[in-house]
Structure formats: structure tokens, C-alpha cells
Amino acid sequence: MGKPLHMVAGGAAVSLLLAAGLAGCGSTGQAQGTSNTTVTIGYENAPDPEAVAIEQHFFQKYMHAKVKLIYFESGPSALTEMASNKLDFMTTLGNPPTASAIARGVPLKVIWAMERYTTGEGLVVKKSSGINSLKGLEGKTVDLVQGSTSPFELDTALKNAGIPLSKVTEQNMTPSEMVSSWKTNHIEAAYVWTPFDEAMAQSGGKFLMYDQNVYKQAPIFNLAVVNSNWASSHKSLVEGFIKAEEAGVKYFYQHPAQAYQDMGKLNNISARAAKAQTTGFSFGTLQSEVTANWMGSGSGVKSSLVTKSLASAAAWLKQTGQISSDPSNISRYVDPSFAQAVLNGK
């Protein structure tokens, strides 16, 4: 498992996003894929088919290029690198960081919805804390990654429960810092994703809620995005990226035992733990990507669940003062055409 590159705390990373375009970020060589082309792909750890694609070297195989993979611990930290023209692709991005980047003028397009969270992210509290419900969070501090999916989900849950947001303190912390602080009894509540939440739950914790509990109001996806300027002249490379993601999904379903080994290796957990954690996600397939419950297709992109997830995240970011205005026509940033092209070529 790699180390974060230029790790920046979540809130700071979002504030550092630049409005400048990302044309020419990271790649050299001819416009389409050749053995001399270098492509940079940022990713986050997750027990999902992309971990399989990484371990099985599917990106190199299908993109026919030199692939540089860079690990990030959270989406907001990666966006600083994207704004600095150092990434061609970024994967495992939640919808709030993606919507924030769009609002700040970064030319991104969502090209693959990797998975939708069900129980893969949630609110975990110490059993000894006395917190047994969301109401019990009043006057307490919850640690999370600012600018990520976590405060979006927590705020939505608190509002649904009629709890004023001012009654709960949200403290910014990286996922690994949360686990460390948890084990030394410095924090008692955290909202974060797997495998970090699982580590805390197994160390004297319990779950109060998951993303699934606010699915209708705030659906959460892990998304893969590409620099739209770069993509316009690298169509075959983007399609190769889609093929690699699809190959990871196929391998996961066809060879589950090895797939869990691959997931475990990349995430530094056991294959058994990887298998258990995959139950927290609903994974996208090439066929599902162009349906209404994922990215949609044609005029249906405007009403797709991925577009809804970005729109709801943007509205929350605007309401909480993290962006000045909602991006107009956010469906323009959801582009299933590459997945459709690969599907048509089957």
C-alpha cells in the first residue's frame, strides 16, 4: 500500500483547488496510447474491483501505456494534485469532493461510477462513550474528513433526526489519524469509510448508522473522473481505462477467491476482511453504468442517480458555505459516452 503524495488535510485541500484547467496534466507522448505514453492515475484504497484491476495490472494491459499509480488517503487531498496538473485520472472520489471541484472550475468528467455505498461508510462510536443514538451526539465531537462524503452524510442524518448542526462539533482529521487517536482513547466518535471504520469498530466500537440510512436524501458513490480537456484528445486511453475497470469487475465475479486476495494485498488487510467489507458496496458493471441507477445515457443522464448524487452534494456544499454557488447543469459533468463506446464495441 502506497503513501499519500503531498498529503493535505481535507478542508485545506478543497480550498486550494484552482480554477485553472488541467490540460496537459501528467501525460507525455502521442495523443492516443502508445508504449511511450505515461498516464497518471490517482486512487484511494477500497475493497473493490479496482483493487483487483491494480493488482492484476489491467490498466497497463488495456491502456497500452506506462501507468503511474498514486495513492491518496482521501479525495480532498487528491484534488490539490489535480488542480496542480499532476493527475490525468482520479478514482474513488466521493460526490462532495467531485461537486466541489466542478464548482471551482476544474474541468472534470465522471466516466465510471465504481460503487455505491451501502454499509461501506458509517458513524462509529466507542461502546464506553454512552452514545447510543444520534441524539447522544449533542455536545460531542465527531471526527471526520472535511470536504469528503462523511460530513455530507452526517449533516443529512442529523437534519433528518431534527438535531441542530450547531449541537455537534465536527473535527477534521485524516482516517489514519482517527484510528490512531481512537486506539489511544483521544476520540470517541468518527464518521469515515472502510477499512478505517471497521478497525475502530473492532477496537471497542459500534456502528450507529451507515450511508444506507440516508440513501434517498444523499446517495454516495465512489466515482472515477478524468480531466475533460485531456480526455478530448486521448479517447482510446479513456476507453482503455474503462476496459480495465470492467476487467476488474469481471475478475471479481469470476475469480472471487483470488480477487479477495488482491483486495487484501492492496488494502493491507486479510482476504477474509476484504470479503466482509465488500458487502458494504454495490458495484457497477459496464452494463449498469448506462442505466438510470448509475450514470444513465442520452437525455437520461440528467435524471440519473449519479447526477442526483452530485446535485445533492453541491446543494449541501452551497448551504454550508463551502462553495459560493451551485454548478449549473451538473449533468454536463457526467459522461457515460466512453462506457457506452466500450459496450457498443463488445
pLDDT tens digits for range 149-184: 999 999 999 999 999 999 999 999 999 999 999 999
pTM of the model: 0.83
Does residue 58 have a pLDDT over 60? yes
User: Do the two domains 10-117+219-344 and 121-214 of this chain adopt the same fold?
Assistant: yes
Does residue 16 have a pLDDT over 50? no
Tell me what percent of the residues of the chain surpass a pLDDT of 70. 90
Write out the DSSP string of 156-176.
HHHHHTT--GGGSEEEE--HH
Domain boundaries, the chain: 10-117+219-344, 121-214
Does residue 8 have a pLDDT over 70? no
Does residue 74 have a pLDDT over 80? no
Does residue 7 have a pLDDT over 90? no
Residue with cell 448508522: 209
Contact between 134 and 167 under an 8 Å Cβ cutoff? The reply is: no
Rg (the chain; Cα; Å): 19
Architecture of the CATH domain 10-117+219-344? 3-Layer(aba) Sandwich (3.40)
Q: Which CATH class is domain 121-214?
A: alpha beta
Q: How confident is the model at residue 106 (pLDDT cuts 50, 70, 90)?
A: confident
For residue 66, CA distances in Å to 3, 28, 88, 218 come to 20, 10, 13, 37
Q: How confident is the model at residue 115 (pLDDT cuts 50, 70, 90)?
A: very high
pLDDT score at 33: 52
pLDDT score at 34: 57
For the chain, give the mean pLDDT: 89
- The DSSP symbol for 327 reads P
Does residue 218 have a pLDDT over 80? yes
pLDDT score at 79: 76
Q: How confident is the model at residue 251 (pLDDT cuts 50, 70, 90)?
A: very high
For residue 175, CA distances in Å to 198, 206, 343 come to 11, 17, 36
Least confident of 39-43, 77-81, 169-173: 77-81
Q: How confident is the model at residue 67 (pLDDT cuts 50, 70, 90)?
A: very high
For residue 303, CA distances in Å to 115, 250, 297 come to 18, 27, 10
Q: What is the mean pLDDT of residues 283-293?
A: 97
